[in-house]
Amino acid sequence: MKIIDCVPHELLDAVNVFSKELEWARRIPVYEVHKWWARRYSGIVRLFLAFTELDSELLKSVSDFSSFVRNLYFNPPKVKNKKLLDPFAGGGTILVEGSILGYECVGIDINKLPCLLLNSLKVLPYMDFKKFEQNIKTIADYLLDRLWRTRCLKGHNAYIIHTFLVWKNGKGEHQIRSNKIKDGKLKFYFCEKCGNTYASEAEQTRCTFCGNEFNKSKRYDKLEYCELSPYAIEYYCSTCCERNIKKTTEEDLDNFWRNTTCNLLNIPKLSETDRLLKVGIRDFSQLLTPRQLLTFEIFLNHFNTEPGKTLAKVLVSDALRSCSILAYYSEKYAKVIPAFVIKSYWLPPQPVELNPLAYRFLNGRVLPLGRGNIISAFRKLRRARNFIIQYKIELRYKILHGPAQDILPQIDETFDVIFTDPPYVNYQYYSDLSLFNLSLIKEVNEQTLTELLRKELTLRHKKDLMNYKKGLIETFCPAVDRLSNNGKLLVTFHHPDLKMLYTFLEVFKKLPIRLQAIYPVIGESSGKLIERKIYLDLLFVFGKQQRDIHYSFTTYTLTKYDKLLQSSIPTLIEFYKE
Ligand SMILES: C[S@@+](CC[C@H](N)C(=O)[O-])C[C@H]1O[C@@H](n2cnc3c(N)ncnc32)[C@H](O)[C@@H]1O
Ligand SMILES: [Zn+2]
Ligand SMILES: [Zn+2]
């Protein structure tokens, strides 16, 4: 017997606690390069892969489970001549962890974005990285000079970091929700009445110039989101060596309103995008300023050979969530908060334009200015590269782009492990969330979008449940066909509506495979930014042999839904056996 067949609850608890701590203690550089929604905890993945390898006898001598787990994580078993498949690869946690253990991995994803990301990670250690870095610097300097110049308060040449924008109402009036542009020891204020921008150490309740009241929660008319207007700029002046805020001048306004003809994809009406359509945004290019669109376009065109071309796309796509005008200045966090931090498209009270290339030199090093621009995306890429080289990680995976249900029947291989994390019903809409990125890097058009939406596994409405189930069967049937006789299929799933769990299990009841174990494990690693209903996943273990179904509980439950999910395990097993 392997450990995976009989994980005791002490071990399960230790795994959950360790995986959670690991993620927050040291963000693992390979997983930081580009956000993908619904990433699994890498610790869970690595440890459970190890459990499929190791003999359960080993547990007999264990008294301290947390040191056991820690040691196992840092010295996982070396796997040789075994193959692993993940038909819903996404951000690739399973493929990367599988590679670290030594599996030869194959991953499939219908979405081009994670495929680009995973291919980029693979080439990092072998490419001419210095040349790539030089290329970025050249194009960044060119674009900064051409599009992002301003004058500091003393009149020197300076670069824009942020431009603070407001939406206007139908009458063309500025709709200010908060007059404070920036918090901190020195606070910056903008008065929409007299147009002044000024700094003050003390909190201001009214404008020092015209007496206009700075009410914290200003009410405003219904917004017309298409009308944008810049009013203040945060810049960096290398002569004064400082960041500062100033009011926009005529010259700044001319620079802001650049002409571009770049139109991106028309926004389709989907679960997450509907909100944009409702306020009159029709095309994804409206989520960027003209100057940002030009910057991205020229930047991408600068790279016309591989691997630079793909890497540049990944960098731009990563920077996009901070650069989109859905980023806003948050008084609570005293910084500009990028869009899609959590998951959805929504309209912030006051948008901010971030210069995608703002950086400065400090002791010969390139430092990004502002959060999450292309320069910081590049630094994340460099960190991932150093990590891969330092730990001699061989990323032995092959990525296939397309619908798993179409690709799997064409694969002529047998796998020892299939470990996957399919879309969990009406929760994360991957295409909705990635279309803006895909359209900017020219990886989607009307035709490929139709195909993506037709074949993507997702459940937007209850009435599509049959389709979702059909998709699962169409994928897992050929997948199970490719599983070796002693192979294991590991699938994670959760849902606040327990009925969905039964629907999910029903699919597997029909397949030539037997349920062998269920473990509640800590689920999605995208942090505690929002209160989520569920933090746990159920990890289902299947194999070809019939045996008693083993399960363990964990004390690591966080919400009442986690408890509910966990306590449903015995009834789920009864249901499965029926
Ligand atoms: C839950 S995510 C996987 C996340 C991944 N395990 C990680 O840790 O980063 C599910 C993935 O399935 C992909 N997907 C949805 N329908 C698909 C299909 N028909 N074929 C292949 N991939 C699909 C989505 O694009 C998404 O990336
Ligand atoms: Zn004023
Ligand atoms: Zn200056």
433: confidence class by pLDDT, cuts 50, 70, 90: confident
Does any domain span residue 54?
yes
| DSSP state at residue 117 | H
User: Tell me: the pLDDT tens digits for 188-214?
Assistant: 999 988 889 999 999 999 999 999 998
Helix 65-74 vs helix 42-53: angle between axes, to the nearest 10 degrees?
Answer: 90
Residue 495's SS3 state is: coil
Instruction: Write the CATH number for 509.
Output: 3.40.50.150
Q: Bridge-partner residues for 159, per DSSP?
A: 149, 236
Does any domain span residue 202?
no
CB 232 near ligand 1, within 6 Å: no
334: confidence class by pLDDT, cuts 50, 70, 90: confident
Does any domain span residue 265?
no
For residues 119 and 2, what is the distance between their CA atoms, to the nearest angstrom? 33
Hunting for tokens 């006789």 — which residue is that?
485
Q: What are phi and psi of 437, to 5 degrees?
A: -60, -50
For residues 475 and 454, what is the distance between their CA atoms, to the nearest angstrom? 14
342: confidence class by pLDDT, cuts 50, 70, 90: low
User: Tell me: the pLDDT tens digits for 168-182?
Assistant: 777 777 777 788 888
489: confidence class by pLDDT, cuts 50, 70, 90: very high
- Show the domain range for 54: 3-110+402-426+461-577
Amino acid, single-letter form, for residue 45: V
Residue whose C-alpha is closest to residue 449's, from 256, 257, 197, 270:
270
Supply the pLDDT for residue 159.
97
Nearest CA to ligand 1 atom 25: 111
Does any domain span residue 244?
no
Strands (E), 432-535: 483-493, 514-522
Question: Between vectors from CA 428 to CA 424 and to CA 434, what angle results, nearest 5°?
Answer: 135
Determine the atom of ligand 1 nearest the C-alpha atom of 420: 6
User: Tell me: the pLDDT tens digits for 492-535?
Assistant: 999 888 999 999 999 999 999 999 999 999 987 665 545 678 88
Report how many domains make up the chain: 1
Average pLDDT of the chain to the nearest whole number:
91
Q: Which residues of 421-437 are buried (b: 16+ CB within 10 A; e: fewer)?
A: bbbbbbbbbbbbbbbbb
CB 472 near ligand 1, within 6 Å: no
Does any domain span residue 395?
no
Residue 274's SS3 state is: helix
Residue 329's SS3 state is: strand
For residues 529 and 525, what is the distance between their CA atoms, to the nearest angstrom? 11
Using the mean position of ligand 2's atoms as its centre, give its distance from the Cα of residue 230 in Å: 17
Q: Bridge-partner residues for 228, per DSSP?
A: 167
The answer to whether 139 and 299 are in contact (CB under 8 A) is yes
- C-alpha torsion angle, residues 399, 404, 408, 414 (rounded to 10): 60
Q: Bridge-partner residues for 145, per DSSP?
A: none
Task: Specify the range with the lowest mean pLDDT, choosing from 13-27, 284-298, 461-475, 515-529.
Answer: 515-529
Supply the pLDDT for residue 280.
82
Strands (E), 118-156: 149-151
Supply the pLDDT for residue 25.
62
Residue 401's SS3 state is: strand
563 by Cβ neighbours in 10 Å (0-12 / 13-18 / 19+) ranks as: middle
Does any domain span residue 28?
yes
Does any domain span residue 397?
no
Using the mean position of ligand 3's atoms as its centre, give its distance from the Cα of residue 150 in Å: 10
User: Tell me: the pLDDT tens digits for 435-468?
Assistant: 999 999 999 999 999 999 999 999 888 888 999 9
330 by Cβ neighbours in 10 Å (0-12 / 13-18 / 19+) ranks as: middle
What is the Cα 67 distance to its own chain's centre?
A: 31
CB 456 near ligand 1, within 6 Å: yes
Determine the atom of ligand 1 nearest the C-alpha atom of 404: 20
Using the mean position of ligand 1's atoms as its centre, give its distance from the Cα of residue 535 in Å: 19
Looking at the chain, how many residues does it have? 578
Nearest CA to ligand 1 atom 2: 90
Does any domain span residue 159?
no
